[in-house]
Amino acid sequence: MNRTSLLSALALSLTLAACGSTARVATPAGFAKVDADDDYAYRATTAHGVVIATRTNPNKLQGNLDFWKESVDLKLRDSGYVLDDKGERDVTTSSGLKGKQLRYTTTKNGREHAYWVTVFVTKKRVVVVEAGGDKTPFAKAQGAVDAAISTLEAD
């Protein structure tokens, strides 16, 4: 599959509705839960705009964790996100689900933002936990974000 086809498949897969997923994390201290919508199964925010959200999509392509991690990385880099110096991390939830976390920076409205995307894959689903916000408040919340990601429960 060439890069254009891969990005098209990724865009189609990851822009679908959350498909009734029950992917959730425990709402961290300092965050308030926001109503879920068609795109996200779970969302929460801080008063300073740091957001954590989950989405789940069918794994129609039957890709493994490395495939989906690379697909997400290509899409984000093509959108101007820069992988930060901490790069990629292995993540394991308290229930034993293994994933990959990618940490990026980007600039929005002249301000530097942090954006983490953590990808988990099962035979049937691709679960993505996204977290981001203005870099300074995000740095203060990152311990809570890490702790929340470790609590992920997905069907």
Q: Could you give the domains of the chain?
A: 3-150 (3.40.1000.10)
Q: Over the stretch 52-111, which tens digit does the pLDDT of each residue have?
A: 999 999 999 999 999 999 999 999 999 999 998 877 999 999 999 999 999 999 998 899
Helices vs strands, H then E, count in the chain: 3, 7
Q: What is the pLDDT of residue 38?
A: 81
**Confidence band (pLDDT; 50, 70, 90) for 7?**
very low
Phi first, then psi, for residue 137 (nearest 5°) are: -65, -30
